[in-house]
Chains A and B, each alone.
Chain A
């Protein structure tokens, strides 16, 4: 505990992000009395700082696999290594203090204030009071909760806030690895989406190694740098990046699990910024030059080059409809184009100025390009 204090994180996680590489090595789990193993010969590596999503139908052993990492469940065979060191030689309670732990029901301690909840692991590690106070304040800021929330009890804050506190509590001692078991599972869809986005933004600065369990393939695709797809009986079927799992499902099971709309899901992974746009014909004043080659590319703009209108089907000017931004996903862009009679989508840059137009063919072509790039540049792990 003392060494943890000495070599532990400095005051800011943003500057001193630590992350560990995680490796499952031929891990099996058999429960006494069960005729089939719960996990069969699981082997994969999660590079430091990446989110690995374990996904699969219920009974596939994804939660079991996750809980073996911090030894909440004993390993029957094989080994799990953290930065090359086996977790088996460690005292479970000490190992767990170095691994963030978030569960679906959150499990905040109802008798402790939000601040005391967050301070749980630092207290176990024997940090001094000043350091704990500073850390709690910092984490509250990180999860954008007002400071006075510190003295509230969990029952006094909203479900979304409780979930954020659960994440903050897991991050408190700046662990190199986080385990998250369906952390956004019990939350309404709108709040879930917000929390997912918040968490991804957080992860951009924290760069933790994260094992994330879910049964929702869309969440897996959204959150994961890598996805491990498991099936009943504790078998790992495919371990890959979301792009590759969508582009090249390893077998019928994966193809069915990711769904028939996997093409659309792949489009959701790319943004308009990844696309080469066609130039728009910006018209600042008056009417477009007669004999315009492609009326669909004509965009009327104001003095700041912001789109104000375009040519309608009847070749008459009409007000501008929805426009895309570099952050718009290709899936959303496709949807906008198709609901606008397949006309190219006008795309604006960060300042709102016209950047170009995205054509249906170019978006459809992006799928093919992804296939080619993935196959040639990325080796399967």
Chain B
């Protein structure tokens, strides 16, 4: 009887194993969103580091129509004290601690805003929905969010809009009509380009690489991977993509997935592209512990503090990010501008305190700026 059990279990596992590659996964590096990609022009010199450059080199797209939602019968709180709640994907990681820091800075500067950050301790859609729902019941003036899933979060956000609560997203978008505006940290195609350019620069145009991401359906990671794929297909067709692994924004899991890539592909692995601020330092750790810093390039998004040991050590050349403190800061300013009536559908820019004027792109998104590259020269200047 034990034998029957063992055989059946092995068969079952084999079925599970083989059902993975049978999909049409050849062309896509992730499975999730079917939105259009918009790759930038090829070439290293165009590593965008200033807003001015970005304006020149992007294709002149017609300004899209506003496609966000609107709050029904929102009370007029222009100039008055407002209470906001911030619901990121989860609490307890450095990235969202930084966005919270930015939000608190903005709140202090404005003087009439109170922001609380509250989110589940794991990046779980159901818990996030329940947190938002309890704040709708409590009655706040505005909700800031970073979604774990763009579709799942939409119903509860629409309920918020119908209750007269303003909704602004940052970092990870929801369906456009479920929120009023989305503060986009950097253009998705800009991040895709920066990551691939860095990889190619370090390991050549025929490098083989694996990807460690959060989950296949997390909105921002999925978009970045789509853009990376589109850009690489255009500009570096010899790049070989090996595999994408999920690590759920968990530090230990990210480390293990990176180790899995290293052990599975051995000498064939030239690079690991890490899509979350948790995956990048832990992948670098895995590479460093395996002693393969020379042979495997780790490219990814990460906060400077997490990457300092690896960049200063020479194991990792650069880390790409935007400033999450600025991201949180901008989100609060955008919310304040909406409530004060100074920012409405159809506007092409918004004033965001010390960040100056931010442009509106893609209909209802506010662009923070260009991706920033942290390397050995500048990483010690930052502290987040």
Q: Do A and B bind each other?
A: no
